[in-house]
Structure 1
Amino acid sequence: MSKVWLIAAGAAALTIASCGKSDDNAESIDNAIELADEAKTDAERKADHAKLAAENLAAAEEFLAENAARDDVNVTDSGLQYMVLEEGPEDGHSPVSTDLVVVHYVGTLKDGTEFDSSRARGAAAQFPLNQVIPGWTEGVQLMSEGDRYRFFIPPALAYGENGTPGGPIGPNEALIFDVELIKVHNPERNLEIAKQFLEENAKKDGVQTTDSGLQYQVITQGNNDGKSPEATDTVEVHYQGTLLNGTEFDSSYARGETIEFPLNRVIPGWTEGVQLMNEGDKYRFFIPPALAYGEMGTPGGPIGPNEALVFEVELISVK
């Protein structure tokens, strides 16, 4: 990210006298600017910051006033502005502030400069909605799963007078976010969905349920003489993990290589389930939340609180 250097008024302009020495001159300019900034007193730096904050605030207020006049822009009581870009299905859930949400987003300054993007990283973001800037906490609660909104966030609902230290967001900057709400994780609702799914799944042909509540289905069987592991054994497996809606969150097949691990170092559903298998077997496991990642899910995603999981597991060998 670039660093904006504030040069005192009246500083002499530096020109590049020779094209052949442009790199050296550019470096000299950078060094001179850096030295000039370091030479400033705390009072001077605070004055520069206050001036920039005032200029940015005036520009933000002007931008937001003009933007609010657009027919497709809505304005809330707090001053948050938003546009509906796309609506999701009618039965999509809307979050409350304490929910965990999964989103894709692109964040830009009002001049279009992109400063953050989950899409550029190629992975959706997951976070508690009450642990982000106020404009997000308020705005995303207006959405339902599948919706895409554009938010225009005033400085007071973003990073305020401080901005983000070191950049890229300056003091009193208005921000623009395009947000797609992919999923809302509510622990109570996820638990109820998991219970309903497992109750129905247990009635299907070929599905067996253990005393712990783990469900499994034999897909293929290996040789009768294949070893069966104990909890303290190390196993080699191929596997694919999905959520109940079919979303794949992990796969050794996708990585193109098997994985080895001590069987007592994984989630309880795996520790119990793989012990039911022999080398060469392939099983499908339906794992209740209590035998998976429980109320916490996986911090940062992709597994939400109290999510039931589905794994297809092929036991390659027992070490």
Structure 2
Amino acid sequence: MKHRTTAGLAALALGAALALTACSSGEESATEAGEAVCTPEVQAAASTPAQPTPTAEDVAAVDAIQVTGDAGAEPTVTFTAPLTVTAPTTRIISEGTGADLVEGQQVSINYVVMAAADATLVGSTWAEGQSPEVFTLGDASYELLNTPLLGHKVGTRLVLASQGADGTYQVSLIEVAEAKDTLSRAEGEPVEPAEGLPTVELAEDGLPTVTIPSGYEAPAELVVQPLIKGEGAAVTEDQTVTVQYAGCLLDGTSFDSSWSRGTPTSFPLTGVIPGWTQGIAGQTVGSQVLLVIPAELAYGDQESGAIPANSPLVFVVDILDASSDA
């Protein structure tokens, strides 16, 4: 499922993208007595391809980048343009003094991104109306940051020179604003769902399998059915949520799943389809929610990746955390 808005500038500049992009899992739906059974395909663990090793010239170019300004405030980044590197190259500017950064944590970062060709500003989370970007440390979409940040601390500043997804080069100054542990799956009191809805069975690790009843018809209005009631705070529409989720078509096709990718994902509720915004807002952290979303509250008459036009969608969502803009 794609965001209605673009991902954060850091993700774009670093050649990464937040999850929730429509993708076919390749999983064929199984049927029994007319039922459609949807199980996300869990990708086999694979070693991360080794990044090219920066050359001595790359290291020297990044060593020459100057960063001034107090921690916690927008820094000034200066360098001689144009700057290019043969491989992503990082340098720790200053070590933080906060808690250790551990894989699986929800990490908030502030950043300044500059075009390496002419040293002009591309974007900054310190700009008016912007806020820190949130991601799960270890998420493959942020691989350029995972290795440099693991083993360091909250407050760490690093500079990264890299080639973006569009082929241009960027210089990024990243500062870790916060890191916190989150749930790995929904936790709370089970809720008895209404009859006639798609049913959900959980594997030992929490991976959901969704069964669409024979003859099930798409609802005219959004269906929001809590399956587990969490004890956390209620989510509001203006927050960024961290979730595990699985998405299915009514024929049992699994089209997208964070479970398949191995890590939760974070995104602002203002940046997704209306069915998500309306369905998740008001639920509590720790909850698991079944959403059945009419096409009008999803992608309407537009195709989106593996999702055909005019498709109602079924999601199982574990709400692991919710945070407001800093």
Give the TM interval when normalised to the shorter protein.
Answer: 0.3 to 0.5
Higher relative contact order (CA 8 A, sep 6+): 2
Kindly indicate which of the two structures has a greater share of residues assigned to helix: 1
TM-score for the superposition, normalised by structure 1: 0.34
Larger fraction in strand:
2
